Amino acid sequence: MFRVMAGQVALVSGAGSESGIGMAIARRLGAAGVKLIVTASSARIAERVSELRAAGFEAEGRAVDLTDEAQSQAFADWAESLWGRIDILVNNAGMTMQGSVEPMVEVAKMSLAEWNLSISRNLTTAFLLTRAVLPGMQQRGYGRVVHVSSVTGTRVGNPCEAGYSAAKAGMVGLNLSLALEVAGQGITVNSVAPGWIATAATLPEEARAAAYVPVGRAGHPEEVAAAVAFLASPEASYITGETLVIDGGNSLIENKAP
More confident residue, 134 or 4: 134
Indicate the pTM of the whole model: 0.94
Over the chain, what is the mean pLDDT? 93
Domain range 9-246, its CATH number among 3.40.30.10, 3.30.700.30, 2.60.40.10, 3.40.50.720: 3.40.50.720
Percent of the chain with pLDDT over 90: 85
- What's the residue count for the chain? 258
Q: In what order do the strands lie in the sheet with 35-40?
A: 59-63, 35-40, 9-12, 88-91, 143-148, 187-194, 243-246
39-93 per-position pLDDT tens digit: 999 999 999 999 999 999 999 999 999 999 999 999 999 999 999 999 999 999 9
* Distance from C-alpha of 22 to C-alpha of 2, rounded to nearest angstrom: 19
The confidence score (pLDDT) of residue 207 equals 81
Cβ atoms of 41 and 125 within 8 Å: the answer is no
The confidence score (pLDDT) of residue 98 equals 47
Asked if 238 is an active-site residue, the reply is: no
| Average pLDDT rounded to a whole number, residues 113-127 | 96
User: For residue 30, what is the DSSP state?
Assistant: H
137-186 per-position pLDDT tens digit: 999 999 999 999 999 999 999 899 999 999 999 999 999 999 999 999 99
Phi, psi angle pair for 71, to nearest 5° = -65, -40
Helix H segments across 34-124? 45-54, 69-83, 112-119
* Distance from C-alpha of 149 to C-alpha of 161, rounded to nearest angstrom: 14
Does position 200 have pLDDT exceeding 80, yes or no? no
Domain boundaries, given as residue ranges, for the chain: 9-246
